[in-house]
């Protein structure tokens, strides 16, 4: 009787307890187990998206990004390394010539070997242009999926393990929610598995580099980020934050010169290994280097939501200035936009500030650098996803506008169905109970502005799909989308720069260890 009475007095878990959510239930099974579950679902989503069309499907003569990636595989497995970046009768650089660093070329080589093993015709020299057999497309999609699973996914696990290390149980309940937001980022999935690219590799290397640096493995982080730079030169969007934070840390060590030298050797050594086939002569090195800077394309292309394209409505940059002054203008504007973050990180190199610095520098490059593409918004989205728990609304705001800014591109690729599905899935995950704390009390003026922007967001989608623009202004709707997204990107950029100079309380990021009491 005594035992029965005691059992009755034991408290029962309340289903209304805010901590008793799907996310906390998943996390109770362990970080690795929850990561595996979410990863399997994320891979399934990627497979579903890959069933839809891709960039340039069935559109000769140059097709699109899918054909560019396939052609690089064709070139790298059939020609010697020294000819990969050289114009010749076997390698016409005007037809999707390699224009990414050597690590992308090596990736294309290994993927090309994989394709040749199962479908040799898909990568045969001269005769495989525009090759679109069912098995060829299946193999190509598999190369992206495997790259994602082998590089980006483990890097995310590494990041969340480091990010939540030492945090209280209450904060750790958000791990599964955070993992889901990063792995199910609609923009990355649509570009890599829909449009067709391999951003998962360079972004995965960057995620791993950030995790290594947050765990104070600065040499490892420097090597990983150097590899990211050698896969896609756009990874330079993050370089100011990496440089400033690591320099600030080194300056506070007992032997700053030795610390800087260690990191410098790690970076130079990594570059030397990756570029070794092209270091035998200045000519070979410059051949590759010239391919990485497409200045001949002009300061902007299409209707990208950055400063140069948006202001070209009033200022005709391409008509008023030649290439050289435009390059200088772009450089000055980009460096000036990065400087506040760089100064703050050197002055006060905190781990919490480092994440804001990554977001600020990548947004600065997106807004002001030379020859920016719509897809480049993936880079600012990455550090925004790191801050999703701390600043959920910024992540939501940036993601929504990133999706809108890429909508014309994805519409041309006939990816409207996965676009809508992934956006809906993202919203469901973001607002899932227990994911993060959403404030109920919002100033009426701000709430009104949010509703207005959301209405514009939805209206532009409907108008773009249903109304034919006037003949005189065939790109009117692209221009309106560009204007709306640009001004919101600027507001986000100003806001996150302000937050960097007023960092959160030390408890907001518990990884900031206190060395002295």
pLDDT, residue 206, reads 98
CA distances from 487 to 404, 473, 494 (A): 13, 21, 11
Question: Tokens 């728990």, residue?
Answer: 389
pLDDT, residue 432, reads 85
pLDDT, residue 34, reads 86
What is the percentage of the chain residues whose pLDDT exceeds 90? 74
Coil, strand or helix at 294: coil
Please determine, for residue 13, whether its predicted confidence score (pLDDT) is greater than 70.
no
Q: 273-314, pLDDT tens digit by residue?
A: 999 999 999 999 999 999 998 777 788 888 899 999 999 989
Please determine, for residue 29, whether its predicted confidence score (pLDDT) is greater than 70.
no
pLDDT, residue 104, reads 97
**Stretch 104-116: mean pLDDT:** 97
Please determine, for residue 253, whether its predicted confidence score (pLDDT) is greater than 60.
yes
Q: 318-329, pLDDT tens digit by residue?
A: 888 988 999 999
Please determine, for residue 446, whether its predicted confidence score (pLDDT) is greater than 90.
no
Per-residue exposure over 68-100, b if at least 16 CB sit within 10 Å of its own CB, e if not: bbbbbbbbbbbeeeeebbbeeeebeeeebbbbb
pTM above 0.75, yes or no: yes
pLDDT, residue 2, reads 46
DSSP result, 223-264: HHHHHHHHH-GGGGGGHHHHHHHHHHHHHTSSSHHHHHHHHH
Mean pLDDT for the chain overall: 89
Q: How far apart are CA 456 and CA 458, in angstroms?
A: 6
Q: 505-515, pLDDT tens digit by residue?
A: 554 444 444 44
Where helices occur in 148-198 by DSSP H, the ranges are 153-163, 169-172, 175-183, 186-189
């Amino acid at each position: 009787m005594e035992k029965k009475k005691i059992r009755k007095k034991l408290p029962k878990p309340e289903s209304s307890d805010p901590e008793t959510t799907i996310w906390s239930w998943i996390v109770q099974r362990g970080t690795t187990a929850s990561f595996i579950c979410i990863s399997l679902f994320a891979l399934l989503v990627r497979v579903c998206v890959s069933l839809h069309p891709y960039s340039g499907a069935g559109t000769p003569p140059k097709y699109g990004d899918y054909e560019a990636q396939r052609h690089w595989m064709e070139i790298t497995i059939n020609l010697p390394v020294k000819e990969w970046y050289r114009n010749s009768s076997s390698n016409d650089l005007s037809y999707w010539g390699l224009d990414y660093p050597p690590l992308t070329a090596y990736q294309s080589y290994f993927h090309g070997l994989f394709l040749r093993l199962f479908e040799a015709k898909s990568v045969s020299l001269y005769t495989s242009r525009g090759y679109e057999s069912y098995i060829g497309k299946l193999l190509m999609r598999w190369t992206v999926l495997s790259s994602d699973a082998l590089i980006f996914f483990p890097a995310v696990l590494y990041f969340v393990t480091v990010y939540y290390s030492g945090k209280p149980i209450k904060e750790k309940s958000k791990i599964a929610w955070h993992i889901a937001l990063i792995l199910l980022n609609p923009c990355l999935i649509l570009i890599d598995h829909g449009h067709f690219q391999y951003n998962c590799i360079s972004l995965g290397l960057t995620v791993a580099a950030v995790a290594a640096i947050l765990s104070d493995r600065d040499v490892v982080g420097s090597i990983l980020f150097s590899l990211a730079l050698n896969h896609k030169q756009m990874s330079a969007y993050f370089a100011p934050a990496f440089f400033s934070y690591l320099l600030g840390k080194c300056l506070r060590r007992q032997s700053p010169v030795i610390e800087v030298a260690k990191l410098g050797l790690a970076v130079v050594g990594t570059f030397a290994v990756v570029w070794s086939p092209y270091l035998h002569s200045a000519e070979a090195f410059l051949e590759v280097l010239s391919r990485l800077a497409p200045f001949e394309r002009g300061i902007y292309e299409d209707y990208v939501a950055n400063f140069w394209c948006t202001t070209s409505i009033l200022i005709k940059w391409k008509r008023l200035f030649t290439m050289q002054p435009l390059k200088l203008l772009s450089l000055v504007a980009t460096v000036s936009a990065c400087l506040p973050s760089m100064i703050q990180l050197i002055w006060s190199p905190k781990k919490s500030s480092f994440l804001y610095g990554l977001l600020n520098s990548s947004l600065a490059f997106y807004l002001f650098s030379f020859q920016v593409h719509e897809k480049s918004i993936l880079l600012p989205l990455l550090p925004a996803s790191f801050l999703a728990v701390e600043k959920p609304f910024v992540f939501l705001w940036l993601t929504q506008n990133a999706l809108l800014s890429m909508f014309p591109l994805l519409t041309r690729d006939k990816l409207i169905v996965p676009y809508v599905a992934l956006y809906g899935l993202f919203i469901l995950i973001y607002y899932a109970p227990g994911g993060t704390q959403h404030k109920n009390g919002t100033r009426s003026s701000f709430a009104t502005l949010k509703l207005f922007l959301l209405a514009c967001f939805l209206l532009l989608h409907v108008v773009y799909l249903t109304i034919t623009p006037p003949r005189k202004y065939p790109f009117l709707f692209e221009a309106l989308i560009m204007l709306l997204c640009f001004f919101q990107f600027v507001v986000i950029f100003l806001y996150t720069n302000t937050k960097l100079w007023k960092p959160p309380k030390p408890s907001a990021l518990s990884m900031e260890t206190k060395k002295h009491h």
